[in-house]
Amino acid sequence: MKKIINLKDLLKHEILDLYSAEEQIIEGLPEMIEKAKDSKLKEALSNHLAVSQTHKTRLDTIKENIIGDEDETDNGFFSSLFGGSNSVTSKGIEGLISEGNKIMSEDMTDEAMDAAIIASVQKIGHYEIAGYGTARAYALELKLDTVATELGTTLSEVYAADELLTKLAVGQVNPEAENATDNHEEEQAMDDDYDRLTNSISIMSSSDPESEE
């Protein structure tokens, strides 16, 4: 395994981590879209998925640029640094998606589910913001202007997606979750009241002297 020595090595590692992150996001978002109930949230998540696919394609180009900058005798940075593999697994995103899946498996109202999904997606987005911001700073320091520009474009798009989710959460989803009620419990309470009323009428009828004649 090749030793990480300098800032360029760190940039390459960050790019690989972000690539893995985008792959996992693309794989994980469809379940969140399916579980979301609010139409605006579904639309926002669907757009997020499409943008994530664009991010992955953009990272493909960045990876090619960085690999092409390697000395031909190096046999490729990605294979030598990671023991023959050309990819790594982003453990950070893996954990956040796992956490999101866990909360979505809980029994909750539709309103609470939507709020939980937004929180999960924003946690993932904040990881991306940190990663793309770091990678862009590395690229700028290394005078890799094209790479820095591409990373900056993605960073702006991630910020925009996060801002959209914040507006949706604060302006609609969170207030709805705050005022949500358990319809099942309400229905059960109504059924219980009906049963009690029916029993009372039955008792009154059985004790009515005229009913015995």
Residues 40 and 3: beta-carbon distance below 8 Å: no
What is the Cβ-side half-sphere exposure of residue 143, based on CA atoms within 13 angstroms?
0
pLDDT in tens, 91-111: 999 999 999 999 999 999 999
- 211 located within any domain: no
* Cβ atoms 89, 100 nearer than 8 A: no
Taking CB atoms within 8 Å and a gap of at least 24, the contacts of 70-73 are none
Number of domains the chain is built from: 1
User: Is residue 56 domain-resident?
Assistant: yes
pLDDT, tens only, 22-76: 999 999 999 999 999 999 999 999 999 999 999 999 999 998 877 655 444 344 4
- Residue count (the chain): 213
Q: Is residue 2 part of a domain?
A: no
Structural domain for 14, as ranges = 7-206
Reported confidence tier of residue 82, pLDDT bands at 50, 70, 90:
very low
In a domain, 213, yes or no: no
pLDDT at res. 151: 98
Residue 110, domain member (yes or no): yes
Query: Which CATH number covers residue 27?
Result: 1.20.1260.10
The pLDDT confidence band at residue 87, using thresholds 50, 70 and 90, is low
Domain assignment of residue 139, yes or no: yes
50 belongs to a structural domain: yes
**Domain assignment of residue 1, yes or no:** no
How many Å apart are CA 210 and CA 187, to the nearest integer?
Answer: 35
Q: What is the pTM of this model?
A: 0.78
